Amino acid sequence: MPVNWKILVIDDDSDILDVMTITLKDAGYSVVCAPDGQTGIMLAKTHSPQIVITDIKMPGMSGLDVLETIKKIKPATEVIVTTGFADIKHAVKALQYDASDFISKPIDDDALHMALRRAMQRYTDKKQLSDYTALLENENLKTSSELVKNVNFQSSLIENSMDGILGCDENDIIVTYNKSMEMLLGYPKALVLKQMKVDRFFNPDRLLKFKKDLSGSDSGGQNRLFDYEATLLSMGKKDIPVQISGFVLSEDRVQNYMVLFISDLRALRTLEQEVTVQAKLLHREKMVSLGRLAASMVHEINNPLSGILNYIKLMIHVIEKDEDVASKNPLDQVHIQNQIQNRIQKFKSYLSIIESETQRCSDLVSGLLKFSRKTKLEQTQISVAQLIQHSLLLCNHKLELSNIVLKQKCDPDLPRVYGDFNQLEQCLINLIFNAIDATEITEAGAIPGTNGARSGGILEIRAGVDPEENLVCITVKDNGKGISKEDQAFVFEPFFTTKKEGYGVGLGLSTAYGIIERHKGTIVVESIPNVGSQFVIKLPFGRDRLVKTD
């Protein structure tokens, strides 16, 4: 590897910046670092790195803005973007902006070096092509042998380009058709060169639109296209999504040759579809939990509503009775006044109960609505005790219906954590519902503290501080059927489930794992079959431990 490769790394996470710097320097690269996009642009201008590695999500100037700016000021620079799973759609967009590659976080060394090799190859190819073009423009070839050598070099560059290269003469007959085009469309070169016209690869309507856009100035300039998305027809008449950059070579104001550089977008489209499907599945998992919550709350809400209705009926009955007594004894004003005073005191008591029960219904409904919404990640101070109580409020009736004995212990003066309340609540509700599902109904005689009542088991929720690691710990423990040692290795993987069909799609724990990871925390499981399971969440606290948003 050449020793003169210079790499600019841009990331607002100082830990990631330090690790990547050490890794790249150990591999022999010259490394320049920037904590934000604006600084990165300044360093790109002054240090002229061949490769830039930038995080997509950063405060202020985003990675996409950095990519777009660098491509304007230094088009030859190769840009690799880094992103988290929740923001894959922005990584896809970065590729459309001509990023050479993207790497998912946490960054794997092998993936990093593979992306760098691709970027260096692209940079080298483009540099060689640029140097050759400059040579043709600025120097006269001195000998015929030099001419032959450079023509061969040019042919080699075209033939081995990762992008498909297609060239047509003034009659649209194909005169350039490289190996990548053969792989893309399936037509062998022998059948194409100087025999086929470009219209063979386009639907007629699409070809007319393509030529119109090429001759216009909206997609890159007059007779030029840049990153133009279109669809070509393969040898098997299948539509292939592509991205085209190209231009028309003119001589004496007469349009002659058309040159197109074509990139295959099939893998990109597949990735976009996978992201869409994953997003739908994740939302479906949340709606499954919401449906179970709503079903269990029908009775939870109906009980206070029945009480409100009964108290209102009672108050109406008392008023009607007093009116009847007053009409029969109009002169007994003292007795009537005493009755009114007594009724006022009772009505105050009734109205207090009605207010309390109405507020209870409102809290439950508000909790359901908040849980169901798709919200953006918010970074706020969160009381762990309040988080647990709010989660239990939504799960309370499900616990009662399942005859679960709930035990809570929350250390006083717990420090607040920083992150998204709604997402952490979703994580806790998933764990509570899993504990309910895992707990088998047993005779309560074997369970202390149940006074002989039939019980589904015990659910314990504890919150405290790990003083050695400066972390807040939340433990959800049950005495259910447990998880086998073999399955424990897979419980956090997407689509893995031990539940019966219809009780989830195996994304609950995977979603919880992703939520805790984005909050820079950890979640682990400890379980013994037929004894029970406990999930332990550890979250950092302090303003310097904000949530990762990529």
Half-sphere exposure of 409 (CA within 13 A, CB side): 9
What are the tens digits of pLDDT across the range 326-373?
A: 566 655 566 666 667 777 777 777 787 777 777 767 766 665 665 555
pLDDT of residue 330: 58
Percent of the chain residues topping a pLDDT of 90? 12
Helix (H) or strand (E) holding 264: strand 254-264
What are residue 368's phi and psi, to 5 degrees? Answer: -65, -45
Between CA 300 and CA 396 the distance in angstroms is 8
In terms of Cα–Cα distance, which of 196, 159, 152 is closest to 180? 159
CATH topology of domain 375-550: Heat Shock Protein 90 (3.30.565)
Residue 448 scores a pLDDT above 80: no
Instruction: Report the pLDDT averaged over residues 133-143.
Output: 57
CB 255 within 8 A of CB 248: yes
CA 185 to chain centre: 34
Q: Three-state DSSP class for 175?
A: strand
What value, to the nearest 5°, has the Cα angle with vertex 134 and ends 128 and 137?
Answer: 145
What are the tens digits of pLDDT across the range 26-84?
A: 888 999 999 999 998 999 999 989 999 988 888 889 888 888 898 888 888 899 988 87
Average pLDDT, the chain: 77
Between CA 25 and CA 529 the distance in angstroms is 48
Could you tell me the two tokens for 55? 């995080």
Residue 7 scores a pLDDT above 90: yes
pLDDT of residue 450: 41
User: Exposed, middle or buried by CB within 10 Å (0-12, 13-18, 19+), for 181?
Assistant: buried
Concatenate the DSSP letters of all residues of 363-407 into one string: HHHHHHHHHHS------EEE-HHHHHHHHHHHHHHHHHHTTEEEE
In terms of Cα–Cα distance, which of 468, 471, 449, 444 is closest to 460? 449
Instruction: Report the pLDDT averaged over residues 431-454.
Output: 58
> Which CATH code of 3.90.170.10, 3.40.50.2300, 1.10.357.10, 3.40.50.10070 fits the domain covering 6-133?
3.40.50.2300
Residue 145 scores a pLDDT above 70: no
Between CA 175 and CA 257 the distance in angstroms is 9
Sorted by where each begins, the domain ranges of the chain are: 6-133, 161-264, 274-373, 375-550
Superfamily of domain 161-264 in the CATH hierarchy: PAS domain (3.30.450.20)
Return the DSSP state at 221.
S
Q: Three-state DSSP class for 289?
A: helix
Which alpha helices (DSSP H) does 178-253 contain, by range?
179-185, 189-192, 204-215
Could you tell me the two tokens for 9? 């790394």
| pLDDT, greater one: 286 or 340 | 340
pLDDT of residue 2: 44
What is the pTM for the complete model shown? 0.40
Residue 291 scores a pLDDT above 70: no
Residue 536 scores a pLDDT above 90: yes
Could you tell me the two tokens for 457? 């088991």
Maximum mean pLDDT: which of 39-53, 416-430, 480-494, 510-524: 39-53
Per the document, the length of the chain is 550
Between CA 127 and CA 472 the distance in angstroms is 53
Concatenate the DSSP letters of all residues of 30-85 into one string: EEEEESSHHHHHHHHHHH--SEEEEES--SSS-HHHHHHHHHHH-TT-EEEEEE-G
pLDDT of residue 502: 47
Between CA 76 and CA 56 the distance in angstroms is 20
Maximum mean pLDDT: which of 24-28, 153-157, 514-518: 24-28
Instruction: Report the pLDDT averaged over residues 402-423.
Output: 87
User: Exposed, middle or buried by CB within 10 Å (0-12, 13-18, 19+), for 38?
Assistant: middle
The band of 313, judged by pLDDT with boundaries at 50, 70 and 90, is confident
What are residue 477's phi and psi, to 5 degrees? Answer: -125, 140
pLDDT of residue 385: 92
